[in-house]
Amino acid sequence: MIPRVTATVDLAALRHNVRVVRQVAPRSRIMAAVKADAYGHGAVPVARALEAEGVGALAVACMEEAMQLREAHLSTTPITLLEGVISIEEAALAVYERLQVVVHDHWQIALLEQLPASAEIHVWFKLDSGMHRLGFPLTDVPRLVETLKRHPAWTFQGWITHLACADEPDNAATPRQIAAYSQALQGVAGPRSIANSAGLLAWPEARVDWVRPGLMLYGASPLPGKLGSDLGLKPVLTLQSRLIAIREYDANEAIGYGQTWRTPERMPIGVVAVGYADGVHRCLPSGTPVIVRGSRVPLVGRVSMDMITVDLRTVPQAAVGDAVTLWGAALPAEEVAGYANTLAYELFCGLTQRVRFRYIGG
């Protein structure tokens, strides 16, 4: 059976991108973000490739994601729960599974304190240096240091903070956050971790003990106006489907739901077997490019659940069965995301279970 929609994930490109992180931040250890099913790329195969490449830790959002990796026998590289635990059961499981937990609030300390005093738990403290989402206020640092002293069985992993505007190279909020964080930790022991992809690419002072790249590992740029290739990254995922029909229409015929687009002349329209139920956003407008036989052609009319329609005037040789690329090396996801007024993050995470995944370069 020929798969309808295929995501080809190039693990060699993923490993290449890890090496780019190492070049940019040679003195930092890498905590690779594999949350959200490795940004839609498939958590288990991606985590295995990252482990083989020797990253220092894998970051997931929550216990379910950590357990998916453990159940696939990923046991060598530390796994960090970025949102920490939410119940005593999860705290006990984190100890049993040797997971590292990010602790961002006093209620989580209270949870961990319900564990036996001898429980060996690996703890990061998250500090709010200005993002104002998760984290202890910086003024809590002395109190947190005292907490650690009270719990000799806890292994302290370090101090995490997160940047709100790292993707804006001229935004003074980032140096303010880094300065406030560094000041609060002056003279305080423990590894530091500040930067996501944008942070480590754009802000040298954020390349501290640990960096936490996500998006750039998958080959996309987090920096506006730059593509992954501008940063030496290789796109990891290529999304492809096929032409399942080609029809010739007279001028002024309306195409698809809502009749939002009309043929300007007699012309061929291709129907591609991919739609929003696969992860191609419905808001992508007419004009969004796809690739047929090596040429960019525009999507026309509305994206429907299972299909899109494309203008084939510039590719008269196109035939039913031809591969159609929605994004990949020749058509960066960042660029396609721009048409949907979103970011590559959301395109990646939006791929659905109907897409068939294929891994190469492993």
Q: Specify the 3-state DSSP secondary structure of 11.
A: helix
Report CA torsion sign: 256, 262, 266, 272. negative
Tokens matching residue 359: 């891994």
339 is catalytic: no
Q: Does 212 bind ligand PLP (CB under 6 A)?
A: yes
Q: Does 222 bind ligand PLP (CB under 6 A)?
A: yes
Asked whether 165 and 130 are in contact (CB, 8 A), the reply is no
35 is catalytic: yes
Q: Which of 40, 130, 213, 332 binds ligand PLP (CB under 6 A)?
A: 213
Asked whether 118 and 153 are in contact (CB, 8 A), the reply is yes
Q: Which is catalytic among the residues 35, 126, 181, 234?
A: 35
Specify the residue, 162 or 281, whose C-beta has the smaller distance to ligand PLP. Answer: 162
Taking each helix axis from N to C end, the angle separating 88-96 and 63-71, rounded to the nearest 10 degrees, works out to 30
Specify the residue, 214 or 270, whose C-beta has the smaller distance to ligand PLP. Answer: 214
Specify the residue, 209 or 253, whose C-beta has the smaller distance to ligand PLP. Answer: 209
Specify the residue, 90 or 167, whose C-beta has the smaller distance to ligand PLP. Answer: 167
Q: Does 20 bind ligand PLP (CB under 6 A)?
A: no
Site for ligand PLP in 151-210 (CB under 6 A): 162, 196-198
Q: Which is catalytic among the residues 226, 234, 249, 257?
A: 257
Specify the residue, 82 or 271, whose C-beta has the smaller distance to ligand PLP. Answer: 82
Site for ligand PLP in 320-359 (CB under 6 A): none
Specify the residue, 216 or 315, whose C-beta has the smaller distance to ligand PLP. Answer: 216
Give me the least distance between CB of 144 and ligand PLP, in Å please. Answer: 18
Give me the least distance between CB of 33 and ligand PLP, in Å please. Answer: 4
Give me the least distance between CB of 312 and ligand PLP, in Å please. Answer: 36
d(CA 107, CA 104): 9
The tokens 């992809």 sit on which residue?
197
Q: Does 104 bind ligand PLP (CB under 6 A)?
A: no
Q: Does 221 bind ligand PLP (CB under 6 A)?
A: no
Give me the least distance between CB of 342 and ligand PLP, in Å please. Answer: 14
Torsion (CA) 293, 237, 310, 4 in degrees, nearest 10: 90
DSSP per position, 251-308: TT-EESGGG-EE-SSSEEEEEES--TTTT--TTPPTT-EEEETTEEEEEES---SS-E
Number of residues in contact with ligand PLP, rule: CB under 6 A? Answer: 11
Asked whether 246 and 267 are in contact (CB, 8 A), the reply is no
Q: Please give the single-letter amino acid code of residue 20.
A: V
Q: Does 214 bind ligand PLP (CB under 6 A)?
A: yes
Q: Calculate the alpha carbon distances from 113 to 89, 94, 153, 335 in Å.
A: 13, 13, 11, 48
Q: Does 29 bind ligand PLP (CB under 6 A)?
A: no
Give me the least distance between CB of 270 and ligand PLP, in Å please. Answer: 34
Helix (H), strand (E) at residue 177:
helix 173-184
Report CA torsion sign: 215, 217, 222, 227. negative
Catalytic sites, residue numbers: 35, 257
- Interacting residues toward ligand PLP by CB under 6 A: 33, 82, 162, 196-198, 212-215, 222
